[in-house]
Amino acid sequence: MHRDCHVCRSEGFTALTRVLARSGDRELVATLNVVVDNRLDLDVAALSEAAWALLQPSPDAWALFSHPEPPASAPALRAKVFGQRLGETDFLAIMRDTVNNRLSDIELTAFVTACAGERLDNEETIALTKAMLAVGERIDWGSGAVLDKHCVGGLPGNRTTPIVVAIVAAAGHRIPKTSSRAITSPAGTADAMEVMAPVALDLDAMRNVVEREGGCIVWGGNVRLSPADDILIRIERPLDFDSDGQLVASVLSKKAAAGSTHVLIDIPVGPTAKVRSVAAAASLEARLRETAQALGLNLSVLRTDGSQPVGYGIGPALEARDVLSVLRNDVDAPRDLRSRALDLAAALLDAAPGAVPGKGRTIARTLLDGGAALTKFLAICEAQGGFTEPGAAPHARPVLANRTGQIQAIDNRRLAKVAKLAGAPGSATAGIYTRVRIGDSIQAGEPLFHIHAHSPGELEYALAYAAAHPDIFGIGAAE
User: What pLDDT score does 474 carry?
Assistant: 96
Is the predicted pLDDT of residue 365 greater than 80, yes or no? yes
Does one domain contain both 340 and 296? yes
pLDDT digits (tens, 9 = 90+) for 50-74: 899 989 998 889 999 999 988 999 9
Does one domain contain both 185 and 307? yes
Poorest-confidence range of 48-62, 203-217, 324-338? 48-62
User: What pLDDT score does 224 carry?
Assistant: 75
Is 106 inside any structural domain? Answer: no
User: What pLDDT score does 478 carry?
Assistant: 76
Give the pLDDT mean for 10-23.
92
- Higher pLDDT pick, 16 / 409: 409
User: What pLDDT score does 229 carry?
Assistant: 86
Residue that finishes a domain, picked among 26, 42, 66? 66
Q: Which residues are catalytic?
A: 242
Q: Which domain holds residue 422?
A: 395-476
Poorest-confidence range of 130-144, 305-319, 413-427? 130-144
User: What pLDDT score does 95 carry?
Assistant: 97
Binned at pLDDT 50, 70 and 90, residue 98 comes out as very high
Number of C-beta neighbours around residue 359 at 10 A? 12
Binned at pLDDT 50, 70 and 90, residue 151 comes out as very high
Does one domain contain both 279 and 308? yes
Binned at pLDDT 50, 70 and 90, residue 1 comes out as very high
Tally of domains in the chain: 3
Does one domain contain both 366 and 423? no
Is 113 inside any structural domain? Answer: no
Give the pLDDT mean for 254-278.
94
User: What pLDDT score does 230 carry?
Assistant: 82
Number of C-beta neighbours around residue 415 at 10 A? 24
Helix/strand/coil percent split, the chain, to 5? 45, 15, 40
Looking at every residue in the chain, the average pLDDT score rounds to 94
User: What pLDDT score does 180 carry?
Assistant: 80
- Single-letter amino acid, residue 7: V
At 300 the three-state DSSP class reads strand
Binned at pLDDT 50, 70 and 90, residue 233 comes out as confident
Does one domain contain both 163 and 55? no
Is 107 inside any structural domain? Answer: no
Does one domain contain both 351 and 276? yes
User: What pLDDT score does 419 carry?
Assistant: 97
Which sign does the torsion angle of CA 337, 178, 324, 422 carry?
negative
Is 237 inside any structural domain? Answer: no
Number of C-beta neighbours around residue 212 at 10 A? 13
Is the predicted pLDDT of residue 325 greater than 80, yes or no? yes
Residue that finishes a domain, picked among 329, 361, 384? 384
Task: Tell me how far the alpha carbon of residue 20 is from its chain's centroid.
Answer: 31
Does one domain contain both 184 and 278? yes
Does one domain contain both 187 and 268? yes
Does one domain contain both 288 and 433? no
What is the rounded CA–CA span in Å between residue 164 and residue 170? 10
Is 49 inside any structural domain? Answer: yes
Binned at pLDDT 50, 70 and 90, residue 154 comes out as confident
**Sequence-separated (6 or more) residues with CB below 8 Å from residue 282:** none
Is 58 inside any structural domain? Answer: yes
Residue that finishes a domain, picked among 353, 384, 415? 384
User: What pLDDT score does 238 carry?
Assistant: 76
Binned at pLDDT 50, 70 and 90, residue 223 comes out as confident
Does one domain contain both 35 and 165? no
Does one domain contain both 408 and 445? yes
Give the pLDDT mean for 130-140.
92
Is the predicted pLDDT of residue 41 greater than 80, yes or no? yes
Binned at pLDDT 50, 70 and 90, residue 220 comes out as confident
We report the CATH number of the domain holding residue 434 as 3.90.1170.30
User: What pLDDT score does 172 carry?
Assistant: 96
What is the rounded CA–CA span in Å between residue 4 and residue 2? 5
We report the CATH number of the domain holding residue 330 as 3.40.1030.10
Does one domain contain both 334 and 402? no
User: What pLDDT score does 477 carry?
Assistant: 87
Is 130 inside any structural domain? Answer: no
Q: What angle do CA 117, 120, 123 make, to 5 degrees?
A: 155
Q: Are 477 and 406 in contact (CB under 8 A)?
A: yes
User: What pLDDT score does 387 carry?
Assistant: 98
Is 29 inside any structural domain? Answer: yes
- Single-letter amino acid, residue 89: T
- Higher pLDDT pick, 341 / 233: 341
Which pTM does this prediction carry? 0.88
Give the pLDDT mean for 235-242.
76
